[in-house]
Chains A and B, each alone.
Chain A
Amino acid sequence: MANKLRALSFCLAGLFSVTALGAELDPQSGRLSLKDAGFSLSFDAVPKGLVTTVQDKDFVDYSASEIASLFKADPDGLEGSGALTMGGKYYFVIFTGLDSLLDDYHDRRVEFRIWEKPKGTRATVCVRWDIADERASTLCFQPTGRATDDGWQELSSGPVDLLAGGVFAPKYMFLMDEHYRSGDQRFYAGFDPATRVLIDAFEVVDLGPAVVPRASCSMVDELLTCGDEGVCLYGRCVDAAMVDGVVPRDPTVRKDYLDRLVFIVSNFAGAKVAHARIKEFEAAIDDLRGVTTGASFWPTISRAMRLLRDAHARRMASSYWTSEYLHTCIHGGEADLLPGGGQLPMVFAAQGSDPVSSKLKEGDILVSVDGLSPYDWIDAVARYPHVFGDPESARILALENLITTALRSGATLRFARCDKATPCTAGEVTYLELDLAKIFGEPYWQGTPPPWQQQRKTCDWRFRRASNASVGYSDEDGIRTLLINGAYNTNTWMDTVTKALSPPPGALILDQRLALGGEILAVQRLVSLLVSADDLHAMEFVPWIDSGLDSDLLKTLRDCLIKKQSQAACGYFEHIGIGALVSSVAEDTPVALLNAHDVSANDFITKALTYRTAPIRIFAPGPTLGGFGPIMQMPIMFGEIVYGGFQYADSIFLASPSDANMDLLTGAGVKPDEIVIQKQSDAVQGIDTVTVRARAWLKGLNP
């Protein structure tokens, strides 16, 4: 009954919501008419005024004659006398020079619309804005809900001001076989060169004057300065659709999207902490239901996902603006050389030639952003890209994204410098003010950006490294330092870790301050080397069970896994035994564990090491993020090109086979035994504060 009523409701909705916006069907011919469109492409032949490129799956160009053959006469076409046939072996179609044909729309708000008819595949259609011949924004079209009864469906960019930042028009329109995203890129799905999709009736609908002000801005004032449809980017208001993507504006499409999103999170999330916060999540999503403007939709979903406290949760988006990066790394530091002292963002590395990094030095303290204290500025930026997970840890780690966000905002940064290793008086402190809107924003929007850093530099929490490899070890003064950037089930990782601990060193620093997560088999290997099976029996992934977890159910799941040897057959329950594969050769070695940004595999390692009988001490600025569980990706529901995700199970630890513990861990990180923050006084001398403290502790055990 529910299904039937639902089908009926769509029919009823269809009667009233098929609107006149965009081209309409001619009632006499049943064909779409573009005669009122300002700019359109009928695809009856290769479009004039554009460069048309068609490529196969391996990016090899087709000849002009073969391209021409794809624009076929089609008596059943939607519009005009023909349509473009693409997809399958005709994988990519690129139209270059769109900007040269849209001069009349420079001050206008427009909507790009196009129709497709699947014949085995679909097209992902996007327009692209470039700045100085570099990709800036990629905006992909989404279904409007309009379709025809013979299988054509309409896609749209949604309303968008034509010029990015009031300056640049889109140069390219791309169409690519949907299998590029859903199949080929995923290793488990194939591609059929014979599939096709028909494309017809591209039009640019003039919606009136542009609505996003051509104004300078910062992220703090963007709501007031840039309005409901704009956001601040590199110091200038730009259309939000170019940054975060198309918003589902059709009421039916929007409702279905939000309803399905809430259902998925409410029912598929695997973390107990997420289920405890579902009401908050739903309330945040409900705030979106009546919103029809562009600036708040995707950021609100991101904030809602963050409420789940799942460190593996990720927001999704249907567009993105290519990020630019400075080669400056900022993390939390102790400003012990400044008169006021306190914990403030500190420069850990400034190694680039860009105009910001080249002016900064290790140990410089960021004292204000746009005149606000750094944390006040973070709190004032509604779109700040926060880290998800344990809020105490996420607060500390928020600083990781400060420099990139400040760059995107066009913020003014003020740094304080003390050029000696002893505390400075107020008169000895020098200040450096960097106006990122002036340094980067102005030349960017003039089309002459400074040399860009489009490759993101990984910002290491380690002030100094014992190894430059992502997994490696070295010895100094009788102490071995094993450095890992996450835990990965590769031969190199497994071999390096095993060699580092066999035979066991006398004392060990395990430095995982740049923790990139990883795989549970690698965790199992490392933990088994360091922890006796008498101290820790196992870690287990436990699916969320609506009726609640109890000992009988847990026993049923365990028995199933023993019998079937399949996690998939047994509710996606998994048992990771300690000591099953390797002996705990280093179980007696004292371990100083150095943490900073620790999630997932590094959460597991940290928690497991707390079970050691032998000495273990955790040094960190705060807890781990509490990401205890495996991840699943959200389905693509509205053409998202940034995929969302979350944990599909939680985890428990068992000290022994008889341990009845059922505490699900996700959301609360492992706290350090000793809170350690890099000191400014050490930084100016090139000393890693955390390592010094760890060495002192290990030395104290064996003087």
Chain B
Amino acid sequence: MAGITPIVMPKWGLSMKEGTVTAWLVDEGDDISVGLPILEVETDKIANAVEAPDPGTLRRKVAGEGELLPVKALLGVMAEADVSDADIDAYIASYVTPSADEEEGEAGPAYLWAEVDGLRIRYARRGAEQGTPVLFVHGFGGDLDNWLFNIDAVGEELPVIALDLPGHGQSTVRLPGASIAALADFVARFLDVIDVDRVHVVGHSMGGAIASQLALAHPQRVVSLSLIASAGLGGEINSGYTEGFAKAASRRDLKPVLEQLFNDASLVSRQMIDDVLKYKRLDGVEALLLELGGKLFAGGRQAEQPGLELESTGKPVLVVWGTDDKIVPAAHAANAPPGATVERFAGAGHMVQMEKAGDVNRLLKQHVGA
């Protein structure tokens, strides 16, 4: 209906089916600008704010605080002043929540698998049909769900691809080599196998170093670089974190380690800890992480710093950091190549793409020219 903007339950990550509205942050009648947090939603994995997709006035709160609702359920209605209350009532009455099953039927299976040099690699590929794809590369010990607040937002404009690196997530527990260079070459091979030529690369932490190395070693594959709390842009790194992450065997040990990733430690939910433990308990994962962390970050020094050589590539570079990053110092943002767009966010830690998802998504969309 003209002039009406629905606010719906977001889908954060492929496994999300429902969420609970925990709090409204604005009132009916408030004028809202794009990106303003409107309400807070909590899933069993994580809590975050839902931001306004368009400017307008909040005319109606449809969901109550504490309500558990499926993805895409109508939470509220925004509209301009000239839309009548009757039209809004009619809109709400006729709104039908799209069924999750139908949607998955259209989009195919949630995760895909590729066989790359003998390793089975899990990845997600979705989003727009046309345009240069955006490839998301997670960090040390992470997986493609680290992008749960980002890939669908960027996917509105361009195709998006996110993979579990070798030895990470649900991909085979084996490394093509314990170096940034080996992992970057592997990502290029992955793109060969899934038949993708050129990508915008978004890398987080160790994934940022991999993205930078990909741009140096395979410049023809990379259109632009977005480096988020990136490794490879300086010497220091908190190897206490990487070692603690690799060695923590129980929830009690792991929780304080994961809390270092965030500015707001309460974001580390029981489910998040469980998911990480399930990964870390797989045979071979601890040894693999200790080997990789030992080669890349021994003694708190980064062995490879490909981000410092990016000027020679001439690629557009975006650098994003949370000022409260306890893993890779935010000061490394100053080492971005000349001409790079550099943005720092207060109130965010190492997982700035989660804690400031709306802002980071806007920067990413701008940077990839979407």
Question: Do these two chains really belong together in a complex?
Answer: no
A contacts, CB < 8 Å to B: none
